[in-house]
């Protein structure tokens, strides 16, 4: 089990405090992070919440998935680890890889 949860479908106005309050009904919230767009400074509409235990995370997921928060139906699921980004890209170089 994973104690870190993905929360999608958030209103752009939902705050981390609102998330903490909603998830605290199911246990101790260790962190709540709304993901912000670095260019606009506006919410991207999703967040990550970490509960203090796997059982609390499971209970919160079951209790909140599909419910309304700040006027929107939210999706709560296990968080997936972000895949490693490979350094450098493939490609054939400039000029389409042709030799002159």
Q: What is the CATH number of the domain that holds 15?
A: 3.30.70.330
**Number of compact structural domains in the chain:** 1
* Intervals of the chain under pLDDT 50: 1, 100
Please list, in sequence order, all residues whose beta carbon lies within 8 angstroms of the beta carbon of residue 71, skipping any fewer than 6 positions away.
11
Q: What is the pLDDT of residue 80?
A: 81
Q: Is residue 52 part of a domain?
A: yes
- Flag whether 83 is in a domain: no
Reading the block at residue 11, the tokens are 């209103």
Give the residues across from 43 on adjacent strands. Answer: 36
- In this prediction, residue 34 carries a pLDDT of 97
C-beta atoms surrounding 73 within 10 Å: 11
**Could you tell me if residue 26 is left (phi over 0), alpha (psi between -120 and 50 degrees) or otherwise beta?**
alpha
* CA-closest candidate to residue 57, choices 65, 46, 66: 65
In a domain, 96, yes or no: no
Tell me the helix, strand and coil percentages in the chain, rounded to 5: 25, 30, 45
pLDDT confidence of residue 95:
57
Instruction: Give residue 81's pLDDT.
Output: 73
Q: What is the pLDDT of residue 90?
A: 56
Q: Give pLDDT, residue 1.
A: 47
Residue 68, domain extent: 4-78
């Amino acid at each position: 089990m994973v104690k870190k949860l993905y929360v999608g479908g958030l209103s752009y106005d939902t705050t981390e405090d609102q998330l903490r309050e909603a998830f605290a009904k199911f246990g101790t919230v260790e962190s709540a992070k709304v993901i912000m767009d670095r260019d606009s400074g506006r919410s991207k509409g999703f967040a990550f919440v970490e509960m203090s235990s796997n059982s609390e995370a499971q209970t919160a997921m079951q209790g909140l998935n599909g419910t309304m928060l700040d006027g929107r139906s939210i999706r709560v699921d296990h968080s997936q680890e972000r895949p490693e980004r490979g350094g450098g890209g493939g490609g054939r170089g400039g000029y389409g890889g042709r030799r002159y």
